[in-house]
Amino acid sequence: MRKNPSDPTQAASANNPGKDQGDPPPPAVRNGIGSGIFGRIWAVWGILLFVSTMLIFLIPFLLFCYFLRDPVKTNRSTASHGPGWPFS
């Protein structure tokens, strides 16, 4: 087959000069069964570490917030003008 440089499927790519764009990608690397099992164990470990760390910081914060007193609302009419304002 003769190559046509104006055809985008046959032109050399900018990232891989000298290679045709129509080339198939290289085959995926298989690392075996052990890496799949290790990856899953590592993912579970990461989730457990994240949740435990979050609880270590979240529980004291929630307890601190739970025992705080609510702010007392200021009544605007009695704060600046005295009781019974504006009818006094």
The predicted model scores a pTM of 0.45
pLDDT in tens, 57-69: 999 999 999 888 8
Place of tokens 């045709």: 20
Closest CA to 3 of 12, 16, 14: 12
pLDDT in tens, 7-27: 666 555 555 555 556 777 777
Arithmetic mean of pLDDT, 30-41: 82
Cα(11)–Cα(82) distance, integer angstroms: 87
Q: Are 32 and 43 in contact (CB under 8 A)?
A: no
